[in-house]
Structure 1
């Protein structure tokens, strides 16, 4: 046995030493390297002598994962696995998606962001701060992988329902991109998480000596806009095939940045558009239970932020597709915020809040608004845990034989009501969905399986479709077809359990069908730089990564 030849090893693996292979999560297989591979890659002596299969590794990972005492420890364990052996990580997540998705994303990712500075081990993405103005393109050049296809970026200003988490918000783009790979098969080599750090207004972080971000008040105005503009231009230069997903930006910037860039580059905002697609899909599936028509529904939103208006916009688009003029559709919506019903008499009617304002008398009591407006669907996007109190839910049940109640705020502590509360207060007649997962509920002998309106049902498939056909832009119509596709996939067995979404175990199939629907829209609208035509499904399937180890012999 001879010493390794650095040039031969470099040609085979891209690394000049055996230890570099073991330290590369995209190539490391751990004890799964066979005897032949160990010989060829000069790994003998660097690993325990007995090779084990991936299946054996998965059993070890599973045992360790379920032995952790709490969800945050599970998150830390999975993060370490991803940093060590990403193929094994994605295989484990795929095979245990219902157990792992609430860990790598909502609700546990919220707790992980709150403690990010304490649990930080190694960077998984890029941090771009105000101190980097004028050098953003150079920074992007430091990223190892040059063919980036999807970027998830946050400024940490509104992480889930937890508010400003500053640079700690990096957990969000990392988690989102993990779902792009696990749910839609987008190879991780093409994914880049980015956090833009302009400071934070979170006093706890400003006073925390361990905080990893800029420790000053959040900067806005021209300095903020200038950094975002430089970032968008730098992405176009460094990664011309990349789609940008804006994530967890504050309400005052979310719609503004989306409107500014959606027709300039390939970009979307998942909190606005992705949430809208998943919510609409749940509503369309709910109407199969209530036997109603979308254009005849009345929607009361608790929360008047970007998520709520995004959902309403997509519902209106679906209504217009059914022949209802937008002006008529607007009459079927009411929004409530901390000041009560959004009416035309108010002095804060900017943007979409002005468009959705109504002529009703001012009212702050949600129960009274339910009684007067008589909505068929109550949608919570307020970030206020318990906002749907008992009298409100019972009022919905008096008005409707099958009231639709969606408590979509994340994490679980912010949900407007729980699944058990909905089913008990509606005497088992409520059609429920939530943003965070809830366990099955048994009420008077019948077991209900609550549907989780997780954005993972839509954004990975939309991104896959956009990437495959190299769409110039991400349009609202793409989110509409994604919602319709998801609603169609939800079968009668799911609906009979009260679940308005399919099982997460089917997420790869959901993502593929969504991608094909998006590709079709892009091609029909002349937005596809790389039309796939009849080969769309075959080429998309073949491109999706499979979470299998590469052979080196």
Structure 2
């Protein structure tokens, strides 16, 4: 079970606001409800006598009941629905459960289960959570945001639902992503839940099945694009700055055409980041740094080939190049070590169909229309899959990597599991057990030639909650790429030799809370060093960070 920090506290403005609640109103408030854990004095004082069974339970007893009910569910989607209902009724118990066994529960509240939940969002909704901002109400976003009951929001995860995981356009069904990500901010790094706000921008959908679905909850219209879309994003960012001036915005699952331009437009203007671009890059860099402890060699000696030339691939490539430059590699050589391959083949300087953010990785080379041929020609030390093309790392691909490398680094990062470029078993089997493997979705341990391989999961959950905790604690004014490099190095340092011996190149998720706080401390140290903090530097950084971390325990009435 997760080790909880002693004597830790967090700003609990919602809980203070709920102090006047009594009776059934108190039991219906998820922030203040303790259910059967209210003691005798509290029951008498708060008008709860007779509204609860007579037995007074400990938090541990409540957790055991939750676990038994979860075990009775027959699918992970049903478990997701049950946990969502628990969050709606007892927030403290929900986070206590998640943090008691993160390895078990992260896949249930986020990837891979959240993908199925998003696909069925309109059919499984019990109680709306977060805020929905439709483009039909353009011009009124400030007014709408003020409907949120908390005035001091620090984190907003926002999506327009156009590129949910590898599933494509899910419209407002994509709200499952902001909700899930913000749960992990809390469960994995201690960001207080009351300062978080999930938002979906409803600009329509081009998904024909959703438009024809009577239970679809969003605007029943085609997606708005062009100038009107850009104006809506501008109004949203401006409204957030006015209504929630201390909020950091995480842009999530925006499509290829919008993700990079939005980040470029706002990254130096407000505190914001794009997890698909920067968080994915940070976790990939951490994986490479840890993998090099297995394969040997330095970062400067590596050559990377990406399957997928979108914002995730270019984001990882860009951060790898910056980290190589920090290690003394020239900019030309650092960018030259990163190659992209998309559905049209190798991205090279002769192509005329490239976006501006792809051009730094469009090197002079003859066209290559076969991924195996690209491996044999470029001889990469690592292949990184961000294509959402299931099984694209097939047997010829993995065997080609094994021919040109003694220990090939193979990272199929696409989510959910159904879109992974290969499975752990395939990577280990086709490489004769020599692959250094990590994936975006979880895979079970693999038995091969008498050895057990425990595959690592290169999930952004190792980066964005820690980054969020550092920003929350320091009230950082901006998010920089250097923070992601610091995060990657700190994460890689948390991988023990025992982890590496087992096949892991990321720390076990069972240690995610301690890992995230360790990473958050290093990011916070950098924020203070660079003068980006909005609060004075503390004398004891460790104590400062621990005091900021939310702990899921009931507050005496």
TM-score range, shorter chain: over 0.9
**Structure 1 residue aligned with 2:245, among 240, 246, 249?**
240
**What residue in structure 2 maps to residue 547 of structure 1?**
552
> Counterparts of 1:223 and 1:15 in 2: how far apart (Å)?
44
Shift of the 16–506 alpha-carbon distance from structure 1 to 2, 3 Å rule, reads closer
* Higher relative contact order (Cα pairs below 8 Å, separated by 6+ residues): 2
CA–CA separation in structure 2 for the residues paired with 1:57 and 1:466: 33
Q: In 2, Cα distance between the equivalents of 1:248 and 1:534?
A: 38
Which of the numbers 440, 443, 465 marks the counterpart of 1:460? Answer: 465
2:184/2:465 contact within 8 Å kept:
yes
User: Structure 1 pair 543/444, CA: closer, same or farther in 2 (3 Å)?
Assistant: same
Q: Is the Cα contact below 8 Å between 2:191 and 2:472 reproduced in 1?
A: no
Query: Could you give the per-residue CA deviations for residues 274-331 of structure 1, whole angstroms, max 9, x where no partner exists?
Result: 0100011011000000012111101010000111111111101110111111111122
- 2:480 corresponds to: 475
Q: Is the 8 A contact 2:34 2:554 kept in 1?
A: yes
Aligned to 1:50: 55
1:14 shift after superposition: 3.8
Residue deviations 1:40-64 (CA, integer Å, cap 9, x gap): 1110011111111111110010111
How far apart are residue 399 of structure 1 and its match? 0.7
CA distance in 1, matches of 2:556, 2:510: 28
Shift of 1:534: 2.7
Larger mean CA deviation between 381-390 and 525-534 belongs to 525-534
Cα distance between partner residues in 1 of 2:230 and 2:350 = 32
Match of 1:129 among 134, 144, 148: 134
The CA deviation at 1:16 is 4.7
Q: Does 1:504 align with 2:515?
A: no
Tell me by how many angstroms 1:17 deviates.
3.8
Q: How far does residue 469 in structure 1 lie from its aligned partner after superposition?
A: 1.1
Tell me, yes or no, if structure 1 residue 419 matches structure 2 residue 424.
Answer: yes
In structure 2, the residue matched to 1:402 is 407
- Residue 216 of structure 2: SS of its match in structure 1? coil
Structure 1 Cα separation of the partners of residues 539 and 446 of structure 2: 44
Q: Distance in 2 between matches of 1:16 and 1:352?
A: 53
Check 1:12–1:405 CA distance in 2 against 1; reply closer, same or farther (3 A cut): closer
Structure 1 position 219 matched with structure 2 position 224: yes
CA offsets per residue over residues 483-511 of structure 1, 9 Å max, x none? Answer: 00000110000000111001112111121
User: Matches of 1:248 and 1:155 in 2, distance apart?
Assistant: 7
Residue 398 of structure 2, aligned match among 387, 393, 416: 393
Provide the C-alpha distance between the structure 1 equivalents of 2:354 and 2:120, rounded to a whole number of angstroms: 36
Please state whether the residue corresponding to 2:156 is helix, strand or coil.
strand
Offset at residue 532 of structure 1 (A): 2.2
2:318 touches 2:335 (CA, 8 Å); kept in 1? no
Distance in 1 between residues matched to 2:68 and 2:21, nearest whole Å: 35
Partners of 2:321 and 2:338 within 8 A in 1: no
Q: What secondary structure sits across from 1:534 in the alignment?
A: coil
> How big is the alpha-carbon RMSD for the aligned residues of Structure 1 and Structure 2?
1.2
Q: Is residue 529 of structure 1 aligned with residue 529 of structure 2? A: no
Give, in whole Å, the separation in 2 of the partners of 1:352 and 1:344.
13
Structure 1 residues 512-521 or 80-89, which shifts more?
Answer: 512-521
- Where do 1:187-206 residues align within 5 Å? 187-206=192-211
In 2, Cα distance between equivalents of 1:536 and 1:250: 38
- Report what 1:380 is aligned to: 385
* Range with greater deviation from structure 2 (175-184 or 331-340): 331-340
Q: CA deviation at 1:191?
A: 0.4
Instruction: Write out aligned runs for 1:98-113 (5 A).
Output: 98-113=103-118
TM-score, normalized by length of structure 2?
Answer: 0.96
Separation in structure 1 between the aligned mates of residue 547 and residue 531 of structure 2, nearest angstrom: 24
- Cα offset for 1:12? 8.5
CA distance in 2, matches of 1:259, 1:353: 14
Q: Which runs of 5+ in 1 are unaligned?
A: 1-9
Partner of 1:25: 30
Query: What does residue 440 of structure 1 align with?
Result: 445
In 2: Cα distance, 1:328 partner to 1:91 partner:
48
Query: Is 1:90 the equivalent of 2:95?
Result: yes
CA distance in 1, matches of 2:393, 2:421: 5
TM-score (structure 1 length as normaliser)? 0.97
5+ residue gaps, structure 2: 1-14
Note if contact 2:33-2:89 (Cα within 8 Å) is conserved in structure 1: yes
Cα deviation code 1:374-405 (max 9, x no counterpart): 11001100000000110110010011000000
3-state SS of 2:539 partner: helix
Q: How many residues align?
A: 543
Q: Sort the Cα spacing of 1:319 and 1:41 in 2 relative to 1 into closer, same or farther, 3 A.
A: same
Cα 1:212/1:498, change in 2 over 3 Å: same
